[in-house]
Structure formats: structure tokens, C-alpha cells
Amino acid sequence: MAATPVKKKALPAQWAPQFAGMQLDTLYQLADFTSPSFLEGDFNGDNLQDIAFLVSNKRTAEKGILILHGQKPKEYFVFGAGREVNEMTDLNWIEVFKKIPKGESVAPTLVDEETGDIIGPDSLHAVTLKGEGIFTHLLEECGGGIIYWKKNKYAWLHQE
């Protein structure tokens, strides 16, 4: 089965040199499988502007999210697009891609293990965001997650 072609999208001008300079353009291409195709914000809580954008792995065509930090030395993190996050390597299912404000409390979904019914938020495992979070979700069905900064790396919080 042939991979679905990914529409090319332009990166905001201030981020393009960093993307190319880190040679990320040899591994990933910008994608717009949902809208918006990028988010700018302080995702790691260092009070500097970062960017998260949708990408496609050039070799495998798997979709995902790439985050570039605005600090020096430059850092990037990839979720999906061939790299595993929450037992997934392809995040082509994302239909909602938006920011969650810094300081907000977010919790995983508590699910009844026997019935599979959703009970509600698991407040015992709630997290207060130190930077802005990235909310991903599938519109018509339950499922998604939040990417958030935890100590010195990103974590995934699953939600139904």
C-alpha cells in the first residue's frame, strides 16, 4: 500500500534556520494532517519561545510531532514519526492539536479495568503543567494524550 502524500508546509521564518541547521530537514518534512500544523509557546517552562509542529518521517512516512526549544544549545524532541511514544510510532490519528496553559492541572483518564468504562479523571495522578502542554486528540472517538515537560524531558499523559 502506497503512503499518502504529505502536503508540504512552510515553517515560520524564525524557526527555519534552526530546523535546517540541525539537519532535521534530512529526516523530517513538515506536515499538515490537521490544523493548526504548528504551535508556538513555552513548552519546557524556561520562559523562552519554543515551537511544536507536525512532521512526517521522510523514510517511513509515519506522522508525529517535533518540538524545537528556543534556548541554546538547541534541543529537539520527536513524538511518533517513527519514534515510540505510548506504544505508538505513528500519530497520524491526531485531529486536535492545541496548547494547554502553563499552571493548569491535567489528569489521565481513570478506566474501569473490568468493563472498560470511563470513570473520570484520575485526580491522584494529576499533573500541574510547568510549561504549556500540547493536547492531542481524535475528534470522533475517545483517545489522545498530553505532551508535557517533566523535570528535564517530555512525558505523555494518556487520556480517553
Q: Render pLDDT for 13-46 as a digit per residue (tens, 0 to 9).
A: 777 777 777 778 889 988 888 888 899 999 999 9
CA distance 104 to 128: 6
Tell me what the mean pLDDT of segment 72-77 comes to: 79
What's the pLDDT tens digit per position in 55-74? 999 999 999 999 999 876 67
What is the DSSP track for 43-71?
A: SSSSSS-EEEEEEEETTT--EEEEEE-SS
**Could you tell me which residues are beta bridge partners of residue 118?**
111
Residue 9 has a pLDDT of 60
